[in-house]
A and B are shown apart, each in its own frame.
Chain A
Amino acid sequence: MATVLVVVEAQPDGQLKKATLNAITAARQLGDVHAVVLAKDASALAAEVKDYVKVVHAGSGAHLEHYLAENWAPAVADVAKSINAEWVGAAATQQGRDLMPRVAARLNAAMASDIMAVNGATLTRPMWAGAVIAEVTLSTPVKCFSVRTTEFALADKSGGGEVKAFAPAATGQTHAQFVEFKEVKSARPELTEAKIVVSGGRGTKGDFKEIEALADELNAAVGASRAVCDAGWQPNDLQVGQTGKVVAPQLYVAAGISGAIQHLAGMKGSKTIVAINKDAEAPIFQVADYGLVADLFKALPELRAALKAAK
């Protein structure tokens, strides 16, 4: 069986980022899964991950305190070489997208991004904002991938893994330096993990009060279209789409969003889609299970009241 190495990602608070567990599920379809954890002190996170994989390689070092591709790529590539990994991958988060091609370059490996399915050695991935699905094969000895987390379930504990600590050599690289991380804190559920997402578009004219109130009523995350993030009405981090977050909740409510293909690319895998738009011809209605032609400023408060009453 092939050996697969998965790069573990931590949340800003140091806890395991759930997306890693989706990546492990994909990796299990390719072979025996090892994981690599990199941190100033990797032991706690490694202990958390060990139940999901065969071996966790826990690399600790002062130079790994902040994630930096230049410090992480050599450490990941060294572990991959030491265990003869045929596959190396991570979740297609912003960190995974930044890191994995650099790891691949170090290993002279070809890479498939955002994989949606694994069939033997054939990987399925989206192109043209998901308008096309491609099946690809990679012909380099070592192969890299990043995983579209919405397409793979969270891994369950397989039990019995071991932790192997190692000390990644300090790279001595000086060409990239971490300056700061400005966290956008939100009390709402994380967009990519929420069961319900309520998103607003340009139709909100920047007024997200009703979007947020409905989200809170449903314990949902808030999302947005590019138009909203470009205008600075909502943080960039909330953009759903081809170049933002990909979500697949049980329920996705799109209010004042026209439904451009680039937006659909990030939400059309949702189980149920509700669209609220005052233009009956808006393309969003073509993917909506339930469409309501209405002014969002009128419909959203009504919807919130009706849901509250129906509890």
Chain B
Amino acid sequence: MKILVTAKRVEDPESKIKVDAAGKGIVKDGLKYKINPFDEIAVEEALRLAAKHPGDVVAVSIGGKEVHEQLRHALAMGATKAVWVNHEGPLDQMGVARLLQKIVEKEKPDLVILGKQSIDDDQNQVGQYLAEWLGWGQATFASKADSLDSENEKNKVPGVIVGDGAKTVDVIREVDGGLNRLRLTLPAVVTTDLRLNQPRYASLPGIMKAKSKPLEEQTAQGLGVDVAPKITVTKLSMPPARKAGIKVPDVATLVTKLKTEAKVV
């Protein structure tokens, strides 16, 4: 089974993000970058599936040369090949999905696994656009039937379950009010939620091997995609901080405050 995964470069989720003085971007000084946590989960799931259903795992990232770091990370985890779409400048979800569509048409994977959202833009859109434009089925917010502390997880059992003859996959999805199970005919698009798996660490031999794995370069122009953004960010700002609160010495004081000051009980 051939699987394509995405490896977007984002700010470390632990970073403190600040808007710049012009309100046009964020302050980049001192920021660390990582693979989008949801994409790391996508890579892990693809590797587990590939361990059972052998085939290539191709990692794709769109951005400037710096995204090689995220591609190398995916390769060090175990992906077999990387595709770098060399692109500087703004992109929106439609642009990303159009580029991925072209790569999918070239690579012809059986399954595409993306993160459900990027932790910078938080849009949660690309997988769904891609599925529609490919005319494929989609299963967003893929999760595991059991918890991340379970034996299945310790034994690296994939949460995405491949059917007989590798014609379908079953996906458990986190939805409002419970869990939903969908069956998709392959090829299909899956997007990951947090509880699908616990990504492995890249081993030292993995990191060494990654250096010699193939990294192919593409461009938007070469792929024939117009990526002019249709979304314009006109202004960025920081939300107003909450008014500083107080510490209460004991439960009795807390109850009094809730009754007489906040009037919420």
Contact = CB atoms under 8 A, between A and B. Distances in A.
B122 interface: yes
Contact of B264 (A134, A139, A271, A291): A271
B259 A285 contact: no
Main DSSP-derived SS at the B contact region: mixed
Main DSSP-derived SS at the A contact region: mixed
A252 B3 CA distance: 43
Interface string A1-43: 0000000000110000000000000000000000000000000
B231 A136 contact: yes
Interface stretch (A81-89, A161-169, A299-307): A299-307
Contact of B195 (A113, A122, A176, A236): A236
Interface stretch (B45-53, B68-76, B77-85, B168-176): B168-176
Quick one: which of B137, B184, B231, B244 has the most chain A CB within 10 A? B231
Interface string A90-117: 0001110111111011101011111000
Given A94-B176, A183-B177, A285-B247, A101 B236 contact: no
A129 B148 contact: no
B44 to A, nearest CB: 14
Interface string B170-188: 1000111111111111001
A250 B264 contact: yes
A310 B231 contact: no
Contacts of A203: none
A306 B233 contact: no
Contact of A291 (B132, B150, B195, B246): B246
Interface residues on A, range: 35 or more
Interface residues on B, range: 35 or more
A179 B145 CA distance: 14
A100 B181 CA distance: 20
Nearest to B126: A101
A133 B175 contact: no
Contacts of A135: 233-237
B242 A268 contact: yes
Given A110-B94, A126-B239, A132-B236, 20 more contacts: A73-B132, A98-B140, A101-B93, A102-B129, A110-B93, A127-B122, A131-B238, A137-B232, A139-B231, A173-B137, A175-B137, A181-B179, A183-B177, A232-B147, A285-B247, A286-B244, A290-B248, A290-B254, A303-B251, A307-B255
